[in-house]
Amino acid sequence: MKKRLTFGFLPWIAAAAICTGSGAARSEEALTSVSTDGSVLVSSADAGDAEVAEGAIIAQADDTSDPCTRMVQRYRWVTEMRDVKVTEFSKEERTRDYTVIKRVPRIEERTRTYTVMVPESRSKTVDYTVKKMMPETKTQDYSVRVPYTENIEKSYTVCVPVREEKSRSWMVKVPYTECIEQPYTAMVPVKEERTSTYKVSVPYTEERTATYKVNVPYTEQIEQSYKVRVPYTEHLTGSRTVSKRVAVKGMTNVTIRGGHWETTAKEISANGKYDADGNPCCPKVVCCRCWVPTCETKEVETTTWQCETKQVPFTYCVKKCRVEDRTRTVCVKKSRCEERTRSYTVKLSRCEERTRNYCVTKMVAESRTRTVKVQKCREESRSATYCVTKMVPQTRTRTVCLNKCRTETRTREYTVNKCVSEQKSKQVCYTVMVPQSRTCTYKVSLCDKVCETKTQTYCVCVPRTVTKQVPVKVCRKVCEKVQVNHGCCSSKSCAG
């Protein structure tokens, strides 16, 4: 919120009394008007030299003090020390165990047989035929049709239209309806009973006896030899690479952005306004605050982490296996063939002849009569007049250009290529792949898994709360004296 401050004028009557030496008591009254938003208004005559901060409050001057000064409360930025709780981290070393599974390599030698296709060079004689082109010149007679133009007189016939009026008569068939008697034949259904003979297959059951073979299982114990891989443990020594993170402290320059507020006074014109007495209003002075940014560079302590590696010896166990021959008794399941007899039932059928009665429906023709409406036509004569356009032929003559052609015989020479066959022979080299068996020895890398327990030391940052004093900028009220340049100073000098 911006507040405006104004100072009141000394009454002109009191100034005149001081100048004339009438001994009248000099009075001074500070007229201060407060607006509805809480700002303090100062008259424009006193605001010429006033530099009042935003939110400043004017203290009334004592009658015994200098009338040309005023006590003003201003807002100033003051640096204070305050207690702030800060979280700091301290490093602690801790230990943990973890299991590492290592793959220990070992090399095993094996033998394999493979087939290789070995190339073998051979040669043979091949006969082939070559076609050669032999040029030959020939003469040919050919006919050419040469075009030419000829003008002739040609007569043609043109049909000219001529209109003629005629009359004609024609016969029209007028339809009418007539009822007549019509005989027709209807098919009437008649039922008739008949007898037929049919054959039926009647099922019956018959018992029979059959012989079959069955495999009967039995168990037999035999001695069996087998090989077993017996595991054993062997201790070996090796080395591994261990990485460790080490903290390295250093200094870094950091740029901090800050700033402060500054108060400036601006003069606002009255724009042709007048007061209640009809006098032109004086310009007003308004105080404005503006932010002035600053930039500072500080040196801050930083911590970086670096990795260090070193070789650490360790002992690990390798599990191996040896092959041993052992014997065991095994039960083997076998079967013997036995012949057995069983009875079973067979379903058969015999053919029997039977008789049945059934009805047959026949259609019998019957003559009947019905009345039918028939459409008939009678002939009537009618006449009408119509116009006929006839085309009368006329003979006319015109000149026509005809394109004709005459035949001419000409001669030309052309070359013909003939193919002549020629026998030749050549030596051809070719390669045949012959298979060969070879044996090679190769090495196979196998890995055995080894479990190992390790202990690791690591750092942990433990938080703790610490109270520190931090400088903080606070806006406070400060009382200051301000010089006021208005009519009171001139009236005082006149009184002296």
Among positive and negative, which fits the CA dihedral 117, 118, 124, 130? positive
State residue 16 phi and psi, 5-degree precision. -65, -40
Q: How far is CA 339 from CA 38, 211, 336, 374, 430, in A?
A: 128, 7, 10, 97, 70
H or E element: which one contains 14?
A: helix 12-19
pLDDT tens for the chain, 496 residues long, are 333 333 344 445 555 545 444 333 333 333 333 333 333 333 333 333 333 333 344 444 344 456 678 888 888 888 888 888 888 888 888 888 888 888 888 888 888 888 888 888 888 888 888 888 888 888 888 888 888 888 888 888 888 888 888 888 888 888 888 888 888 888 888 888 888 888 888 888 888 888 888 888 888 888 888 888 888 888 888 888 888 888 888 888 888 888 888 888 777 776 667 666 667 677 777 778 888 888 888 888 888 888 888 888 888 888 888 888 989 888 888 888 888 888 888 888 888 888 888 888 888 888 888 888 888 888 888 888 888 888 888 888 888 888 888 888 888 888 888 888 888 888 888 888 888 888 888 888 888 888 888 888 888 888 888 888 888 888 888 888 887 765 544 444 434 3
Q: Residue 343's Cα: distance from chain center in Å?
A: 77
How crowded is residue 24: how many other Cβ atoms within 10 Å of its Cβ? 13
Closest CA to 68 of 109, 28, 15: 28
> What angle is formed at CA 457 by the lines to CA 451 and CA 461, rounded to 5 degrees?
140
- How far lies 44's CA from each of 27, 28, 270, 286, in Å? 20, 17, 10, 10
In our burial notation (b when 16+ CB lie closer than 10 A, e otherwise), range 377-406 reads: eeeeeeeeeeeeeeeeeeeeeeeeeeeeee
DSSP character at residue 476: E
Residue 11: Cβ-neighbour burial (10 angstroms; 0-12, 13-18, 19+):
middle
Task: Report CA dihedral (310, 315, 317, 318) to the nearest 10 degrees.
Answer: 60
Q: Are 339 and 213 in contact (CB under 8 A)?
A: yes
